[in-house]
Each structure stands twice: as C-alpha cells, then as structure tokens.
Structure 1
Amino acid sequence: MSTFERYLTVWVGLCIVAGIALGHLFPPLFHAIGALEVAKVNLPVAVLIWLMIVPMLLKIDFAALAEVGRHWRGIGVTLLVNWAVKPFSMALLGWLFVGWLFRPYLPAGQIDSYIAGLIILAAAPCTAMVFVWSNLTKGEPHFTLTQVALNDAIMVVAFAPIVALLLGLSAITVPWDTLVLSVVLYIVIPVAVAQLLRRRLLAAGTPIRLERLLAKLQPLSLVSLLATLVLLFGFQGEQIIAQPAVIGLLAVPILIQVYFNSGLAYLLNRWSGEEHCVAGPSALIGASNFFELAVAAAISLFGFQSGAALATVVGVLIEVPVMLSVVWIVNRSKGWYERGAAVSRGISTEKA
C-alpha cells in the first residue's frame, strides 16, 4: 500500500473541509458545475465515477461470469439485505429518530417529509460507487458486476411499490430518465469500454500491458474519488453552513442504517461460509444507496426545497466517507472473518 493510500482517511477529511469551504466561498462556480446535469445525473461527477470504476471493470473477464453461481450465498445475502431489510429498517429508524427522538429539534412541518426522504434513499441500492468500494476491498469483480446487474433489474419493478408501501401512497412517479441514464452511464458504457480496452491489451498474448495500465489507473481512481468528495460537498456547502444541526440530526439514522446493514450482510456471509472477497462487496452493496435516483425521486414527489430532498442530499454527503470506513472495517477484519467455522471449512476444501 502506498503512502497516499495509507493516509486516505486524512485526504478524505481535507477534501470534505475543502469542499464545504469552496462551496461557501465560490457558490456561483459550484452552481454552474452542478447545473451540468441530465435527468439529475451530474455529468462532471459521472466522468469522475468512470475514472474510479474503470480499474475494477478492466479486471472482469466475461468468460468467467459463468462461475459466479458458486457465490450463490453472497448473492442471496445481498438481495435479502437490499430488498427485505434495508428499506424497512430505514423506515423504523426514521420514525424512531426523526419522528420521535429528534422531533423537538427539527422544523415541525418537515418531519414527515424528512422520513420520506430517508425511505426513498434506502429503497434504491447503489449502482456505480459499489465498484469503487469493491475494488478497495479486493472484492470479486464478477460477483460485484452480477450483483449490481441483479439489483438494477429488481429496482425497475420493486422500487416504486416499496416506496409507495412505506410512504402510504397509492403510487409514486419513478424518475425513469434518471434510472435508465444512470444504468447506461455507470454500467453499460463503462463495461463495454473496459472490455474493448481489455481485449486490445491482451491481444498481444500477455497480461503485462493490462497489469501496467491497472497500476497507473489505481492512483487516478483514488484522486477521482477525492475530487468527487470536493464537488459533492461543494455543491451543498451553503446548505451545510446554513443548517448544520438539521443535517447532523438527519445523518444519525443514515449512519446507523449503513453500519447495521453492512454488518448484517457481512455476518450472514461469514455464517454461510462465503469467501471474504465476496462478503466485502456484499456488505458494501447491502449498505450503499443510489443517491442520484433518490434525489430525483424526492424532488419529483415533494419538491426541490422539501425536507425529503434535503434528507436524500444528506445521504449523498455521507456516502463516501462512511463507506470508506466500512471498507476499512472489512479489510482490517479479514483474518477474523476467515477464522469463522463455515469459512474455514470452505477454505480447507478448496485447498484439498
């Protein structure tokens, strides 16, 4: 691990501070960058995400995707957490903290809207950033791609009914343009580009050129991650300074939800005997959120200035630093994970 990677948490902290400060000092600049979007998908952020996820996508060999079936336990755990646990646990946490414990400290007219925003945020699993988290945990790239594709397929039919059920609405308007554009931008196009580049590099019959490119792209991927942080916090610099208490209170149930769901997925994978390279991305996919879709849905349902929109924005702000902390926990606990009885039996069987 390089010195730069070793102190990644320091750089993250500095980028958060820099983003807030720059967003407060130069709001017109960040407003202009923030306006460069299509269907609520910010194009500069999309480019940075491309640079972050390409290293993992280059590792994917489509011929090996057929072997993903042996990770059925990890797939089952992630689907369970994403669709049967996460939206409902967030609804409970929203009611407990925003609707009860924090109610005296929040604007009375926005309580229900805040809870709605939290539920919308939790109802859509992440699409793009998951590749980054998986790469940082040395996750199995084929599992990650398969799991993201499965979640995207389920999201098309399950997102609206789950949100409608938990919000008590007869129906909701799904921002299909955001959903479709995000899938195309973050899955279809980068996977296709990465596969074409991979084939070209391997055409010479040696993996050396591919390995050299991956070594060069890894630092660029981390720099792009930090630049994304600066932009995300810069976009909301004025909001953060204007109402830090509200943002801090809304962050509490989101933080608990992230650690609860990632921990649950991680422990269930360990109990089932799944490999660590699958349990890591499974935990991260189980906890992260599709914030572009969440923000777009909240704005379309409740308006740009609503508490729901603000709650989803809080999810955007804490996504990167919190998920990096989960990455750190997953990496540091690998030895403990592999000492689990079911995991140990699986490792012994493979060696035999």
Structure 2
Amino acid sequence: MTVSCDRAPRLGFFERWLSLWVAIAIGLGLLLGQRFPAFFAGLSRWEIAQINLPIAVLIWCMILPMLVDVDLGAAKQLGRQPKGFIVTLAVNWAIKPFTMALLGWLFLGWIFRDWLDPQLAESAIAGLILLGAAPCTAMVFVWSRLTQGDPTFTLIQVAVNDLVTVVAYAPITALLLGLAAITVPWPTLLGSVLLYVAVPLLVAQSLRSRLLKRGSAALRQFDRACKPFSTLGLLLTVLLLFGFQASTFLAQPQTIALIAVPILLQSLLIFAIAYGWAWRWKLPHGQAAPAALIGTSNFFELAVAVAISLFGLQSGAAIATVVGVLVEVPMMLVLVAIANRSRSWFGSSETAA
C-alpha cells in the first residue's frame, strides 16, 4: 500500500482554524446548556441502549466521508504489514488500562487527596479505569482524517479493537476494580459498534461504488464537498456534549479540573508511547498517527454507561467519565497538531515493513 509521508496535509479554511471553532463551540455549549437546561435535558433523553441519537447522527456526519475513502481491496496488503496492528493492540490493552489506573490512584488517591472527598475520589478512580479500558470507536475516524491517516488501516484497527473490547473489557476492568464481576451493558457495546462502524461502512461502501462508476474525479469531488459537513458535525457534537453537562461543569469546577489532570497526562503518555513505537518501527505516518490516536481517544459511550450502571448517575465514577468526554476534543486537537507537524520524522518511507 502506498502512503505518502512527506507532504503536509492540505487543510481547508475551517480545518486550519479548527481549534478556534472548537473553543467557540465549547463556550456556546456551556452558555446554552446553562440558559436552556430543559432543551438539552430533552435532547439527552433521545437515546437507545444509552446511545444518544443526536450525537450518533452528528458522528455519522463526521465519519461517513472517511469511510467512503476506505478501499476494502487494500485490506489484504495491510494484513501483510502487521506492525501497526501490533502497536495499537499492545498499547490499548496491555498498557493503557493499567497506566490509567496508576495515574488515577497517584493523583486522585494521593496527590489531590486533601482537595477531594475520599468517597468521591475512590469512585472517580473507578471511572478513570472504565474510561482507560475503552479505546475509541467513532471519533478516531475524525482524528485520522485530520492527520491524513490511512482510512483502510483506521477502519481495520477500529474493527479489531472492537472485537477485543467484546471479550476483554469486562475482565480487565474487573481485575483493576477488584470486583468479582462487571456488568457490561451489552446493548450499548454492541449497538455502538453496529451504529458507528458496521452500518455507516455499508452505506459508505455502497456510495463509494456508485461514485467510482462515474470515475475517480467524482469520488474526489464528493470528498471535497463533504469536508465542511464533517467539520460542522464535530463542532455541533462538541456543543451538545458541553451543553448536556453544563450544570456539572459549572457547579464543580475544582473537582472537574482535578479529575482532568490524570486524563490529560494519560492522553500525552499513551500518544507518546504509541507514536514513538511506530516511529521506532518505521511505520508510515498514515498508520502511525491513527495507531497512536485510537488509544488516546476513548469509547466514552461505553465508559459512561458502565459507570452509571455500576455506581449511579451522581457518582464520582460517572463524573470522571463525563470529564473524559469534556477534555477529549481539545486534547485530541493538540495531539493532531503534533502528529501533523512531526510528519517529516517518518521520512519518505512508502510502506510498513
């Protein structure tokens, strides 16, 4: 598979100023969520199996253009280049859950213990563990697109991680939480995989086939036309997420800030490990970036659902998973920028060994 690694991504106007638009969306979300709480409360109840439908629609707007770029015929070539998949699986399942547990205990259980209620801190550590054991399903398509990641590699790594999540999430979180059993909301887990990967992939591939019948120029034209809608979907998602949690964010700013510290450090640590590993193995940038970003981002729908079902809506665990949602987008934009600016580190290698 050919992947160009020595050209900078060509970003449109909205993508070049994405950090500014996200900051505005965060501010609007907090403002509107505080001003119109009933409206956002109503939207938050539009869900199936704890999957919010407005958010799902917006995520479709973000990921569908990425999935149209996926060439399933290239999957065989990726199968002969396993290093990227080794990186993503090892980091997401052998490193990430355990470092999140360690950072949660270090900061919430020790360094910040004088500023947090002990019960809330203990529960919040549990929430961080639930968050750390859930690699991203949907948003990684957005981060991969912003770094010009290989769309086929991104899809396959998401699919592989989803399969591992089905069998490994409960045992790993049970081990780290010290519980005999974890009740995983299977409708949420399986429904998210279906909603964010399987169904949009089928729709996208059908659309791709129709476009290619009209020539490759039609596919490129579709891609250019959809980019603004993909960015708009991201901004509206941010606005809704902050609108849904405006009261929590504004009522407990100190608690939110303290819980955010280990999450932010975890993001930097996991990105550094995965990205550095990919660089050491001479992976092309199109694989290195999404391999690092999938573990840095989180499957927050699953983590929030499990936290609420195990510990309750008002628990520290639920708050911690919500904080993960609140800080993810700004943090991921920083890491996307780092990935784009370090593209030259990966030389001009065309293929993964």
> Which position in structure 1 is the counterpart of 2:86?
76
Equivalences for 1:1-352 in 2 at 5 Å?
A: 1-204=11-214, 206-335=215-344, 337-339=345-347, 346-347=349-350
Aligned partner of 2:18: which letter? L
1:193 & 1:27 partners in 2: Cα distance? 35
1:275 & 1:151 partners in 2: Cα distance? 20
Alpha-carbon displacement from aligned partner over 1:247-289 (angstroms, at most 9, x marks no partner): 0100000000011001110000000111111000011012111
1:189 & 1:51 partners in 2: Cα distance? 13
Match of 2:314, SS state, is coil
Q: Deviation of residue 232 (structure 1)?
A: 0.2
2:128 & 2:205 partners in 1: Cα distance? 36
Larger helix percent? 1
2:81 & 2:255 partners in 1: Cα distance? 41
Q: Over aligned residue pairs, what C-alpha RMSD do you find?
A: 1.3
Q: Deviation of residue 318 (structure 1)?
A: 1.1
2:318 & 2:31 partners in 1: Cα distance? 22
2:204 & 2:14 partners in 1: Cα distance? 25
Q: Deviation of residue 211 (structure 1)?
A: 1.1
Q: Deviation of residue 347 (structure 1)?
A: 4.7
Q: Deviation of residue 348 (structure 1)?
A: 9.7
Q: Deviation of residue 37 (structure 1)?
A: 0.8
Alpha-carbon spacing, 1:137–1:348, altered in 2? closer, same or farther (3 Å): closer
Match of 1:289, SS state, is coil
Please say if residues 71 and 278 of structure 1, whose CA atoms lie closer than 8 Å, have aligned partners that are also in contact: no
Aligned partner of 1:223: which letter? L
Match of 2:82, SS state, is helix
Aligned partner of 1:79: which letter? L
Please say if residues 71 and 274 of structure 1, whose CA atoms lie closer than 8 Å, have aligned partners that are also in contact: no
1:347 & 1:61 partners in 2: Cα distance? 17
Match of 1:127, SS state, is coil
TM (norm. structure 2) is 0.95
Please say if residues 25 and 239 of structure 2, whose CA atoms lie closer than 8 Å, have aligned partners that are also in contact: yes
Aligned partner of 2:255: which letter? V
Count of aligned positions: 343
Q: Deviation of residue 55 (structure 1)?
A: 1.0
Task: Answer 1 or 2: higher relative contact order, Cα 8 Å, separation at least 6.
Answer: 2
2:201 & 2:164 partners in 1: Cα distance? 20
Q: Deviation of residue 201 (structure 1)?
A: 1.2
1:247 & 1:235 partners in 2: Cα distance? 15
- Name stretches of at least 5 consecutive residues in structure 2 with no aligned partner: 1-10
Please say if residues 123 and 162 of structure 1, whose CA atoms lie closer than 8 Å, have aligned partners that are also in contact: yes
Q: Deviation of residue 349 (structure 1)?
A: 10
Aligned partner of 1:271: which letter? R
Match of 2:313, SS state, is coil
Q: Deviation of residue 243 (structure 1)?
A: 0.3
Runs of 4+ residues over 4 Å off in structure 1: 346-350
Please say if residues 71 and 143 of structure 1, whose CA atoms lie closer than 8 Å, have aligned partners that are also in contact: no
Q: Deviation of residue 109 (structure 1)?
A: 1.9
